[in-house]
Amino acid sequence: MQNPDKKGTPLEGLLVLDFTWVLAGPFATMILADLGADVVKVEAPGVGDFSRRYAPFVAEVSHYFQSINRSKRSLILNLKHERGRELARRLASKADVLVENFVPGTMARWGLAYEDLRPLNPRLVYASCSGFGQTGPYAQRPAFDIIVQALAGTMSITGEPGRPPVRVGFSAADLGGALFTTIGILAALRERERSGLGQQVDVSMLDAQVALLENAFTRYFTTGEVPSPLGTRHSVIVPFQGYPSKDGQFVVAAGNQPQWLAFCRALGLGRLAEDARFATPSQRAANVLDLEREVSARTATLTSQECLTALAAADVPCAPVQTIDQVVADPQLAERGMFIETQHKRAGRLRAAGSPVKMSRSRVATPRACPDLGEHSAEVLGEILGLRDEEVEALRRDGVI
C-alpha cells in the first residue's frame, strides 16, 4: 500500500470506503483523496455512479464525473449478490472511514447500516450525507440541489429585487453538505484518537445550507423583517455592490468612511461626498437606491476598465465580474496552481479546479485521472483482502464484481 501519490500528504494511510454517487458524497471523498486518503469507490456493475452518464463527454469520459472523482480507485461490487455484500463487509472491517449518500435506509437493505458494521469494526467512522438527514419527517425524500436551495431559503435571497428568485449558479446545497460531511469525518477521526472508537456522522444538505445562511436568519430573528433578493447589494454595507458600465458590470466594496470618500472622488462624483443623504454609513444604507441611481448614471458612461483603474488607484477595493474563461486565465490562480490536469488513458489531458488546501509541510496528493468503472477491482481486492487472481476471476465470472 505504499502509494507514491500519497506520500507526505496529511491523510496518508487512511482507507476510505466510498459508496457515494453524483455530487455531495463524491465531492467530500475527493477532498479526502486530495488530502491523501486512499479512496475506494464502490460502484454497481453496468452503470456505476450515475453521473458517469452526464454530458458533455471527452472520449466517453463525463466531464462532470471526472471533475469530482479524481485520485480515487473504482471497485465494482454487486450488492444485490450476497457475496458482493460479504466483500463490502470485509472491506468495511478494514476501513477507517465509510461514506455514503443514499436515501436513508438504503445501506440497511444491503446489511451495510452502521449498526451492521460497528460490531465488525468498532473503529469505523461511518459518514452519511443525505438531503434531509437520517431523522425527521423529510428523511425519506430524495434531494437534489435545487430542492434544497428552495427549501433552505437560499433562492429567496438570491436574485434581483422585485424579480423571481434564482438558483445559485453552482451546486451550493450539495457542496455545503459535502464540506460539513468532510469536517464531521475529520472531527470524528480526531475523537477516535482518544476514545479508540468510531461513530456515525449524519449530515443533511438542508441543515448545512441553513447553517451557511447564518446572518439571513439572525437578521430575521432580530428585526422580524424577511430578507429578500438584493441583486448584487449587501444587506448593510453601502456601497458594496455591482455597478453597470458601458461594457458590462464591475463590483466595489467600500466598507469604511475613507473608502467611501475615495470612491466618490475616483469616479468624479465628489458632490456625493458632500450630499447629506449619503453622509454616514446608516444614511447610505437608508438611501441606497438613490445612491445607486446617481452612481450608475456616471459609471454607465465609462468602461469597466476605466472605473476599475480609477478606483484601484484610490485604494478602493474593486474587481471585474470575471467570466469562467477569464477566471481560468487569472494570474493569481495560476500562481496558486488552482487548475490541475490529469492524464486519462483515452480522454488524454483533463483539466479541473484543484484543491484549495495548501500546507507548509504536507502536500496534496498528485492528481490521478478519474477511474474507469471497476478499473481497480482486482488490485483493491488483492491489496486489501488478499484475494488471489483466481479468486478475483471467479468473482467476476459469477457477476459479483
Cα separation, 127 vs 143, whole angstroms: 17
Q: Per-residue b/e over 154-192, b at no fewer than 16 CB within 10 Å?
A: bbbbbbeeeeebebbeebbbbbbbbbbbbebbbebbeeb
Angle at 71 between CA 133 and CA 76, to 5 degrees: 70
Cell of 109: 437493505
Among the listed ranges 71-79, 80-88, 360-368, 376-384, the one in contact with a second copy (CB under 8 A) is: 360-368
351 binds a second copy (CB under 8 A): yes
313 binds a second copy (CB under 8 A): no
Among the listed ranges 76-84, 222-230, 262-270, 393-401, the one in contact with a second copy (CB under 8 A) is: 222-230
5 within 8 A of 365, measured Cβ to Cβ: yes
Among 101, 121, 204, 287, binds a second copy (CB under 8 A): 204
Identify which of 126, 100, 113 has the alpha carbon closest to the alpha carbon of residue 20.
Answer: 100
Identify which of 397, 395, 398 has the alpha carbon closest to the alpha carbon of residue 87.
Answer: 395
Annotate each residue in 47-66 with x if it binds a second copy (CB under 8 A) or - if it does not, as one string: -------xxxxx----xx-x
Which 82-101 residues touch a second copy, going by CB under 8 A?
Answer: none
Nearer to a second copy, 84 or 177 (CB): 177
Which 276-295 residues touch a second copy, going by CB under 8 A?
Answer: 282, 285
Active site positions, annotated: 174
Among 217, 329, 348, 388, binds a second copy (CB under 8 A): 217
Q: C-alpha 172: how far from its chain's center?
A: 7
Among the listed ranges 39-47, 97-105, 179-187, 387-395, the one in contact with a second copy (CB under 8 A) is: 179-187
CA distances (Å), 233 to each of 71, 174, 252, in order?
39, 25, 10
Cα separation, 25 vs 99, whole angstroms: 7
Among 47, 108, 187, 329, binds a second copy (CB under 8 A): 187
The length of the chain is 401
Which 369-388 residues touch a second copy, going by CB under 8 A?
Answer: none
Residue 382 half-sphere exposure toward CB, CA atoms < 13 A: 10
Angle at 335 between CA 329 and CA 341, to 5 degrees: 70
Nearer to a second copy, 182 or 377 (CB): 182
Cα separation, 396 vs 401, whole angstroms: 5
Annotate each residue in 103-142 with x if it binds a second copy (CB under 8 A) or - if it does not, as one string: -----------x-----------------xxxxxxx--xx
Nearer to a second copy, 228 or 343 (CB): 228
Among the listed ranges 196-204, 260-268, 270-278, 385-393, the one in contact with a second copy (CB under 8 A) is: 196-204
Compute how many residues bind a second copy; rule: CB under 8 A.
Answer: 148
220 binds a second copy (CB under 8 A): yes
Among 44, 273, 279, 319, binds a second copy (CB under 8 A): 319
